[in-house]
Structure 1
């Protein structure tokens, strides 16, 4: 049985979404981020990223952590790519080494070229409403930096529909969960119609909807 350590309101959402795509059963241990707790070190604090039991599993103190048959992975993108390649239901994983390389390429591109600035937008552009002062400037700067990588993504999707192999794969899932962080900022997303259409299709998938309902059911 797979075990996913981490609440769904975290990067664990990537692993959970993929498990639903693959039809994999899993056990979820709802480890919460320490910063969300008033006193994560209190004796009665829930399991969190500073709990000794969790740090024994993940010395970096970050969620999610994936366990499968003795293998422990503490990077969510490594986890999704591993599961997609191992179980590979409905072609979610690579068909050959070339596709494997392309899935790695797009997942790394998401993590390095898009995620940092997309997270800035997520944290500062609250509920889709523009923030005043310094926060607004930081959001605008992050959006400006994202124009170049998002243009690359938009052109590829306009030409191919998906990232790899003309079908939905783990690369699409990884990228969609990163682009989602900037989804509420219309001034950026409106420039990229192919990305918007592709993201809507990804998020309309039943497996995403199952994950999202679980995410919304968790406390904010």
Structure 2
């Protein structure tokens, strides 16, 4: 059986969403980030990224991690795409070309979207009025996202999903990077096909299951 290490409030959301979509049986070990705990090495601390039992799985002390038999994977995109190929059915690739396209969109999201989207996510997350410095950060991040968002918007204006006519793991990995920018409603409104697509993805039962797990965890 698969064993997934990591809490919902982390990049483990990506494989957790896919596992909710596929219904694949798995064991979940909710390893929390050490920086979220006042004393991560205390004897009564919950299992966290500094715990010896987890660093034995991933010496880099980062979540998520996956075990499947003798295989250990430690990057969320690699984990999600592996689950898609091995257990995903129609959510996984049907051909070598689809495998390449899933890898392309996953790497595109990680390298072109995730960084600036996270830069704007943190100042927007509280919902409080932004300081001038925070507003400047959001503005710079939005400008960084306009080119990759324009590419996604054009693609999704022509295709309902990342691989064409069906929802796949490629939609999950891209949506979970774009999600960080959703707090910037004005930016999302500039890209209506992208905005409509992510709302369609997030209306799925698999996302709702993942999100309920996230909301049940302490912030």
The alignment's TM-score, normalised by the length of structure 1, stands at: 0.96
After TM superposition, give the deviation of residue 69 of structure 1 in Å: 1.8
* 1:66 and 1:74 in contact (8 A); partners too: yes
Equivalent positions of 1:1-220 (< 5 A) are 1-89=1-89, 91-220=90-219
Q: How many residue pairs were aligned?
A: 219
**Deviations along 1:70-125, whole A, 9 cap, x unmatched?**
21110011011111111232x10111000110010000000000000111111121
The 1:167–1:105 alpha-carbon spacing in structure 2 relative to 1, beyond 3 Å, is: same
The 1:129–1:151 alpha-carbon spacing in structure 2 relative to 1, beyond 3 Å, is: farther
After TM superposition, give the deviation of residue 128 of structure 1 in Å: 4.3
* Cα distance between partner residues in 2 of 1:26 and 1:99: 25
Q: Any unmatched runs of 5+ in structure 2?
A: none
Q: Which secondary structure state, in structure 1, belongs to the residue aligned with residue 4 of structure 2?
A: strand
* Cα distance between partner residues in 1 of 2:115 and 2:101: 21
* 1:128 and 1:185 in contact (8 A); partners too: no
After TM superposition, give the deviation of residue 130 of structure 1 in Å: 4.5
Q: Which secondary structure state, in structure 2, belongs to the residue aligned with residue 27 of structure 1?
A: strand
The alignment's TM-score, normalised by the length of structure 2, stands at: 0.96
* Cα distance between partner residues in 2 of 1:20 and 1:60: 27
After TM superposition, give the deviation of residue 167 of structure 1 in Å: 1.0
For the aligned residue pairs, the C-alpha RMSD in angstroms reads 1.1
* Cα distance between partner residues in 1 of 2:194 and 2:147: 13
* 1:7 and 1:31 in contact (8 A); partners too: yes
After TM superposition, give the deviation of residue 127 of structure 1 in Å: 3.7
